[in-house]
Amino acid sequence: MKVAVYNRVSTEEQVGRDTIENQVIFANKYCDLHQLDIYKFYKEEGISGTIPLEQRPEGKQLIEDAKNKNFDTLLVYKLDRLGRSARVTLNSIYELESYGIQIKSMTEPFDTSNPSGRFMITMLAGVADLERETILERMWHGANRAARDGRWLGGIVPYGYYVDKNKYPQINNKTIPNVNISEADIVRLIFDMVANKGYSTIKLANYLNTMKMPTHYSKDHRGKTANIWRPNNIIRMIRNKTYMGIHEYGKRSKKQRELIERKVPAIVSEDIWNKAQQVLTNNQIESMKNAKRSYLLRGLIKCGECGLTYQGVRYGSDTKFYYICGGKTAYRGPKQGKCSSKNIPALFIEEMVWNDTVNFINNPGEIIKVLEENIKDNKGEINKLQQEKKTLLAQMNNKEAEKQSILDLFRKNIITAKDVEIQLQKIDEETTATQKIITEIDKSINSTINLKQKFDSAETLLKDFQIKIKKELSFEEKRNIIRSLVKEIIINTNEVNGRLKASISVKYSFFNVVNHTDKDS
């Protein structure tokens, strides 16, 4: 029998001195003891257990070798080396077993060659997942306590501040060489020019760049185009409540979490901050009023060259309107106004997308058919999940009987109190792990049911649109329909015979993609 050994440590575990070498030494001794022939060691350092096996560098190679039958059995130090998430662990085991590979733990009493071993794997994977979630929750609570105390918990410190040795934010009044002004003074200047002088963000960016005021990134030597003040950066600074003395911790987190508001030293007064907000709002309203034309696809067109959003502009006379990449506009984009993408005539692309949208509304048959087939397939999946849940609930009910049996043995003096404690703890851990799996099953069932609900609402929406498009529509009515059905429009620019040609990919809702090539214009 040839065996492979998979070793993994995450970055956090490396800090705790849990190294790959420790696992390798143990594996060598284990294989010597059991007279096993080692085919290969797969070593993953600094890799999180939440990443699927096939997406890890060594894990990908392991799967390829398993497909080629280069070994018969995979050894792991503990099951959580395969994954720290129950889903990742079980998916990895399922895939390896499909290639005829057995999985064995060198420190846990299971292997996948028998039913009880496979059941134990499910329990251990759930326990590993629970352990990870518990650790994360403790770290979360610890971070929240530190945040309420006012400590800075990492991330970029706002311009005008620094973090002292005790991890508290302080105002940076240190004079910057060459400009004889501090970061805090620059922040006060920005708010004064907006709040009291009514500067637009473009005019203010021109001023700061002309005066060669250092940006947040240039002073920290970060970024390739860091020494340029951009209107968007200025807007973010003015909108930041930190400058008036309120920092919202957790606001930028992608996960649902508690928003902690704490006081920090203020650089500007609350009155100046509020006045600056009002000026920004008024400038935006005025800009909308001065627009020569309303753009039907505003915010939907993305550049395939630099990834920025196309904007509506007017060239020459009042009748020449185009969508152009934001990378060609001052202060926008990684290419600093040098994006080579092609400009698209506004009337041409708006008519094209609107006609496609109307055609889809009137003839959604193929897409609706695909959705219906998916939902039919999902009905069988729901039944399968519900049966799996029923089995797990029965197992949980049996746990109560197991507890009673253990207590009966204790009363008959067959086992000790210590034995009772150990066994009851194991049952509680298994019950918790099972409950976690049931919760995941419930999420899958609800997700599938939601798909059916979305399908029903989509049918209703399309019928409503079919009625609307039969009459004359206002600009806002057309835009609402477009926004409901069009996800995004990608413009890719290619050079053909010395001339720029644009290919237009329109991504519609319900998985539909339509490709076009623009006419010469």
CA distance 299 to 312: 9
Query: Residues near 465 by Cβ (< 8 Å), separated by ≥ 6?
Result: 361, 481, 484, 485
Q: Is 337 helix (H, G, I), strand (E, B) or coil?
A: coil
> For residue 182, what is the enclosing H or E element?
strand 181-182
Residue listed under structure tokens 């940006």: 215
Number of other CB atoms surrounding residue 222 within 10 Å: 11
- The DSSP output letter for 106 is S
Alpha helices in 318-416 (DSSP H): 346-362, 365-411
Alpha helices in 149-269 (DSSP H): 183-195, 201-210, 216-219, 231-239
Number of other CB atoms surrounding residue 131 within 10 Å: 14
> For residue 323, what is the enclosing H or E element?
strand 321-325
Residues catalogued as catalytic: 10
Q: Is 74 helix (H, G, I), strand (E, B) or coil?
A: strand
- For residues 264, 265, 270, 272, the Cα torsion angle rounded to the nearest 10 degrees is -130
CA distance 429 to 441: 19
Q: In what order do the strands lie in the sheet with 344-345?
A: 310-314, 321-325, 344-345
Which of 463, 481, 517 lies closest to 352, judged by CA?
Answer: 517
CA distance 278 to 158: 22
Contact 217, 223 (CB under 8 A): yes
Alpha helices in 112-255 (DSSP H): 115-148, 183-195, 201-210, 216-219, 231-239
Residue 301: burial class (beta carbons within 10 Å; 0-12, 13-18, 19+): buried
